Structure 1
Amino acid sequence: MAQKPHERKRKQILSKEELQQLDKDDLVERIIKLEGHNKQLKDILSKSNTESVELEKKARRSFDFSKCHYRRVLLRIMYFGWDYQGLVTQDFTTQTIEHHLFHALIKACLIENRETSNYHRCGRTDKGVSSFGQVISISLRSKHPLGLQHEQNSIDSEMQYCKILNRLLPDNIRAVAWMPIPEDRTEYSARFDCKKRTYKYFFPRSSLDISAMRCACALLVGSKDFRHLCKMDVGNGVVEFVREILRAEILPVEEEGEELGSKDFRHLCKMDVGNGVVEFVREILRAEILPVEEEGDELGSKDFRHLCKMDVGNGVVEFVREILRAEILPVEEEGDELGSKDFRHLCKMHVGNGVVEFVREILRAEILPVEEEGEEPTTMYYLLIEGNAFLWHQIRCIMGVLLLVGQGKEQPDVINQLLDVDKYPRKPQYNMALDVPLNLYHCTYELEQEKQWVYGKDELQHLIKHLQNEWTIQNIKTTMIKDSLQVLEAEYRKMCQNDANEKCDERIVAYADCLLQGVKPRVYTPLMKRQTCSSLEERIEHYKKKRKEVDISETG
C-alpha cells in the first residue's frame, strides 16, 4: 500500500493578513472551534474557582464576622502588571490583580467577602499596565470600636494591614500604605473622590525627535474631545468623550537631582495644615551632595603652612609646595599582585574528577564603572500626563500618535486635527502604544490635606529591600544586553566601513520600534489619509439596533 504523504500540521495562530485571506466558511469554522475551546476553559476555571471558594468558606467557618469592628480606609496598592491580565477580576482567568488582592483580604479575614466590603478602585488598569499609586477604598476589620478609631493611639495600634496582606500577596503586588477615612464620610470613594490621576509612560530616546513630541504634548492640555485619541466604549454606555488634561510633558528620567524644579513636596516635609499650610509645591533650584573640602584636598601647588611645622627661625617663610601624587595604598603581601596563584580556596574543588592542581594565572582584574554617555539612544524619557479622569486606552492612543510624531512621520499639529471632531468626525485607524511601559503613578485626594498615609516602618524597609533586589536583577540583565549590543554594533560598523560598494547606515537605532503595536507597512500612510472607523453617531445607532434585536428575541 502506498504510504500517504506526510501532512503538515496546520498552523494554529494566524496573522491578521492570513485571516483576511480565508473565506467565510473557514472563518466560521475557526470561530466555532475557538468558542468550543473557550467554553472548555471557562468550565475548567469555573470549577477551579468554585473549589477555591469552598475551601476559603471552610477555613472561615470558625470566624464570626458579626462580632468584629470595621473601619473605612484608603489603601495604596503597588503592582507590576507585566504578567497579569489587568486589574479587574475576569471570568476566564485568575491572573488579575483583584483576584490576588481579594484572595489575600478574605484569607486574612480582613473582609468577609467582596460584596459587603464597599469596595471602590481609583483607576482601572488594563493587561500589562503597572501602578505605583493605585488606591482603593474598602471597609476592613479593625481592632477598635467606631467611636475610638480616629484617635491617634488607635491608628498607631491598628492592625498592620500592609504587613498582613503582603505575607499573602505575590511578590509583584504590594500593599504600601493605608489612610483612615473620617467617620462622617462613610461614602468616601477612591474612584469618585479622586481629584487627579497621574500616569507615566516610559520610553528610550532612540532616534525620536523629543522637541517635536513636546510640541505635540502642549496641544493636549485643556478640556478637549478625545474620541479620536481613545478606544470608544459605546457598547458600555460611554458616549461623552470630553476630558480635561491638566498637564502633559515629555521629561527625562533623572538619575541624580530629580527633585529639581517645581514639585509637590507634601510627602517630603512635615505638613503644617493646622497653621493653614495647604500648598506644598516648591521649586528646588539646586540640589547636590558635595564633599567638605579641606585646604590642600587636591593635587597641585598649595600653601601648606597649616600642614607642617613652620621653621621660621631658620628663615623658612615660603610654604607653597606642589604635590604631584597622593594616594592611600594597601600594604601588599607577597603574591598580592596579579599573576600565578593557588586558587584552591577561591573555587569549588573538583577533586572527584581528578582536578588536583589549582594554580591559575590572572592577567587582569579590575572593577570598572559602566559608562553612560549623554544623550544616547538608550537615554530614558517618560510622558507625564495628569487629568481628572481618562478614557479607555486614552494614554496608549496618545502615546501611539506621539511616537509617530517623534519618528518624523507626523507633524505635531496632527494632535489638533485629531481633536477637531467637527472637521474629522471619524477616527483614522492607527495602532496604540505597547502596554508594558504605562504606570498609574499617583492618585490625588483632598483627604490627604487632613489625614496622613500610615506606613509600617519595618514593612516599608522590607519593601525597599525587595525592590532594590528586583532592580539589581533587572539592571544586570539590561547591562548584559547592552554590553552584547556594543560588541555587535562595533562589528557592524567595521563591515559598513569595509563595504565601499554597498550603501550602509553605520549605526542601527531601533530601540523604540517595539513600542508601536501592529504590522508596520512598507509605505507609510499619513494618519489623516487612512481608512477611518465608524463615527460616534454611527456607533450609537449600531448599538441601539443591536439592543432592539436582543429585546425582540427575548420577548419572542
Structure 2
Amino acid sequence: MPASLRQLAKNCLRAMVTSATPYESWSKEDLIARLTQLEPPRAAITPPPQNPRRLWRTFDFSSYPRRKIALKFCYSGWVYNGLAIQADTTPLPTVEGVLFEALAKARLIDPDAGLEGCGWERCGRTDRGVSAGGQVISLWVRSALDSASIASKPSIPSPKDPTPPPEEVEEAADTEDAFPGLDGDFGSLDDMDFPLPVQTTSKSEHSYALILNRILPPTIRILAWSPVAPEFSSRFACKSRHYKYFFTSDSLDIPRMVEAAALLVGGHDFRNFCKLDASKQLTTYRRRIISADINPVAGSATGMHVLDLKGSAFLYHQVRHIMAVLFMVGAGLEAPSIVTALLNVEPGAEGDPSLPVVDTRPEYQMADALPLMLYECHYAPGDVEWQTEEEADPDVLGLYHQMHALHARADMYTTLNREFLNAAAVHHAPQPVHLPLTATGFVPDGRTPMNLPLGGAEFRRIAKYVPLLERNRGAHFEVVNERWRLGKGARREERRKAAEDDGDE
C-alpha cells in the first residue's frame, strides 16, 4: 500500500476514535466515498505532444479530391500467384496485392475501403506464372488538382521541366523513409512514418508512375497512366487483347503450326480450346480471333518463335489450350485440320458437313504458363491518353534503362547456361530426336519414347500417342453447369442467405 494511502487510513481510524461520528456503523460503500472525499487532489497529467509525422496515419481521404485514372503496367508472372487478389492465403503474393499495398502506402487510395472503395477494375485476369507487358487497371485515386481542374484538363508535370511541383517534393523526398519496401517486404502500414500531405495551389498532377515505381519491386513496373472518364472501365472498354506465347522451334514443324494457327481466325465456338469454369455459368463459348501469327523472335540465337494472338475476348485458359494443340500439330502427331475439327461443335458449324461433330473437349494437357504474356490491351481513341514522367534525379535510372539492365542480366544467365550445355556435351551425347515426325520420318511403335513439347522447356514423355479425336471426352458444359449449381453453387447461395439473415437481426 502506498505511504500516502496508509497515512490517510491512519487519519480515518484516528477520526473514528476521537470523533462522535459512528464510523463503525457505516457501510463499505460509505467508507470508500468518505476516503475519496478526504484524499488530496492529484496533479493533472499532461499527455506528451503528438508527433506531427504520425498525423499522416489519420489522413482524411474525404478532404482531398479524387479522380479516375488507368494504370498500364508490366509484371514478371513467375514470381507471383497470379494477378487477382485471393480471399485465401496464397504461397506467393499476387500482383494486385502488391500493387494495392503500394497505392495505399503512397496514400493514393484508402486501404480501409478495399478494392470496392476505389472502384478497382482489371482488363484481363492472368493466372499463376503468366506475365504481362501491358496490363491495365482503372481506379479512383487521390489527386493534387481541385475538382474544376480535373474536369477541365488532365495536367501532369511537363517532361521538359524536371522540377516536380511542391507536393511532389514532399512525397518524393527521402525515398528510403517515405517509400520503404523497395526490397518487396511491405510489412504493416503502422510501422512507417509518412510526410504530411501538403495542400498546394499547383495545377500539376501527382507523378503517379514515378511515385509507385519507387515503392514497387522491380518485378512490377508502372509504364504509364491516363486520365479517364468516371464511367470508364478497363475491362469493358477494352476493344481487343493481344497475347504472346514464346517457344523454341526444337522438335517442331513451324510451317504446319502456321497453317493450323490461321484456321483460328474469325468467330468460332472455342469450347474445345478452354477450361470450363462452371462458376461463371457460361452458355456460349463463341469468341472472335482477329489474327494468329507465328514468327521468329528477332535477334534470337536459339530458334525462339512467338505466337501473336489477338482477339476481342478470351476464355479461361484459351491461349494455353490453343498452344497445346499447335504443339501436337508441330510435332507431326496431328494434321493442321484438327483445329477445324475441334471448332466443329455442331453439324456444319465450320461449313463442312463431312467434319465430325466435337461438342465436348477431348482430354489433353494444356501448355505451360511461363511463356505466356498479356502483351497489350487496346482501347478506342480518346478513351485513354497514356502519359509518362521522367525521373528528375540524375542519379536514378529511368524506366527504360531499368528494364534494359534487367534484360542484360537475363542475357548473361542465358550465356552462362549455354556454356554449361557446351561443357556437358563434351561428356554426354544428346538423346535421339524423333519429332517432328514430318522431318525425322519416325513411325511411333508404342515402345520408343518421344518428348511432346508443352512449352516453357517442358515436355511430356510418351511412347504411344492417341489421336485427339479418339480420346475420352469431357462432360458437356450444360452438364458441368448443372452439377455446379446443385453442388458448390447451392452451398454458396445458402451461405449468402445466411449472411443476409444475420445482418437483418
Asked if Structure 1 and Structure 2 have the same fold, meaning a TM-score greater than 0.5 normalized by the shorter chain, the answer is yes
Q: Does 1:226 align with 2:226?
A: no
Specify which of 328, 332, 335 is matched with residue 408 of structure 1: 332
Corresponding position: 1:430 with 2:364: yes
Distance 1:155 1:524, change over 3 A: same
- Give the 3 Å change call, closer, same or farther, for CA 552–452 of structure 1 in structure 2: closer
Q: Deviations over 1:295-348 (max 9, x none)?
A: xxxxxxxxxxxxxxxxxxxxxxxxxxxxxxxxxxxxxxxxxxxxxxxxxxxxxx
- Which SS does the other structure have where 2:465 is aligned? coil
Q: Give secondary structure in 2 for the equivalent of 1:170.
A: coil
What do the CA deviations read for 1:198-240 (whole angstroms, capped 9, x no partner)? 0100111112111000001011011100011000112322222
Give the partner amino acid of 1:429.
E
Kept in 1, the 8 Å contact 2:85–2:94? The answer is: yes
Structure-1 residue corresponding to 2:129: 128
In the TM superposition, what is the alpha-carbon distance from 1:518 to its structure 2 partner?
7.9
The equivalent position to 1:455 in structure 2, one of 348, 363, 388, is 388
**Corresponding residue number in structure 1 for 2:210:** 163
Q: How far apart are residue 158 of structure 1 and its match? A: 1.0
CA distance in structure 1 between the aligned counterparts of 2:363 and 2:98, rounded to whole angstroms: 36
Find the residue that maps to 1:167 and give its secondary structure: helix
Aligned partner of 2:343 among 404, 416, 419: 419
Residue 107 of structure 1: CA displacement? Answer: 1.1
Q: Provide the C-alpha distance between the structure 2 equivalents of 1:510 and 1:531, rounded to a whole number of angstroms.
A: 22
Tell me if structure 1 keeps the 8 A contact 2:75–2:220.
yes
Q: Report the alpha carbon displacement of residue 177 of structure 1 after superposing the two structures with TM.
A: 0.5
In 1, distance between residues paired with 2:219 and 2:81?
14
Unaligned runs of 5+ in 1: 1-57, 257-371, 373-377, 497-504
The 5 Å alignment of 1:85-484 reads 85-90=81-86, 91-93=88-90, 95-112=93-110, 113=113, 114-149=115-150, 154-156=155-157, 157-181=204-228, 185-255=229-299, 372=301, 378-422=302-346, 423-447=357-381, 449=382, 452-458=385-391, 462-484=398-420
Cα distance in structure 1, aligned partners of 2:399 and 2:261: 34
RMSD: 3.0
Aligned-partner residue type, residue 217 of structure 2? P
For structure 2, the 5+ residue unaligned runs are 1-53, 158-203, 347-356, 433-441, 443-449, 499-505
1:484 & 1:172 partners in 2: Cα distance? 27
Alignment counterpart, residue 62 of structure 2, candidates 61, 66, 71: 66
Match of 1:528 in 2: 469
CA distance in 2, matches of 1:219, 1:190: 30
Paired residues of 2:452 and 2:462 also in contact (CA < 8 A): no
- Report the CA distance between 1:521 and its aligned residue: 3.0
**Deviation, structure 1 residue 519:** 5.0
Residue 118 of structure 1 aligns to a residue in which SS?
Answer: coil
Q: Quick one: distance in 1 between partners of 2:216 and 2:493?
A: 47
3-state SS of paired residue (1:537): helix
What is the one-letter code of the residue matched to 1:524?
Y
Worse-matched range after superposition: 473-482 or 195-204: 473-482
State the partner residue of 2:49: none
Residues 232 and 180 (structure 1), Cα distance of their counterparts in 2 relative to 1, 3 Å cut: same
Offset at residue 489 of structure 1 (A): 3.2
Per-residue CA deviation, residues 450-506 of structure 1 (Å, 9 max, x unaligned), is 75311112289522222222112211111111122234335556999xxxxxxxx9x
1:169 CA displacement: 1.1
Change (3 A) 1:402 1:64: same
Cα distance, 1:544 vs structure 2: 3.6
* Distance change in 2, residues 1:66/1:421 (3 Å): same
- Residue 203 of structure 1 contacts residue 512 of structure 1 at CA under 8 Å; is this kept in 2? no
Number of residues of Structure 1 aligned to a counterpart in Structure 2: 365
Q: Which amino acid aligns with 2:222?
A: A
Aligned residues of 2:77 and 2:129 also touching (Cα < 8 A): yes
CA contact (8 A) 1:78 1:134 kept: yes
* 1:537 and 2:462 aligned: no
2:164 corresponds in structure 1 to none
Classify the secondary structure of the residue corresponding to 2:400. Answer: helix
**CA offset at residue 163 of structure 1?**
1.2
Q: Tell me which amino acid in the other structure corresponds to 1:100.
A: V
Q: Once the 2 structures are TM-superposed, how far is the Cα of residue 87 of structure 1 from its aligned partner?
A: 0.2
1:73, 1:494 → 2: CA distance? 53
More displaced, 387-396 or 90-99? 90-99
Q: Residue type matched to 1:458 in 2?
A: E
State TM-score, norm by structure 2: 0.67
Q: 1:195–1:446: 8 Å Cα contact kept in structure 2?
A: yes
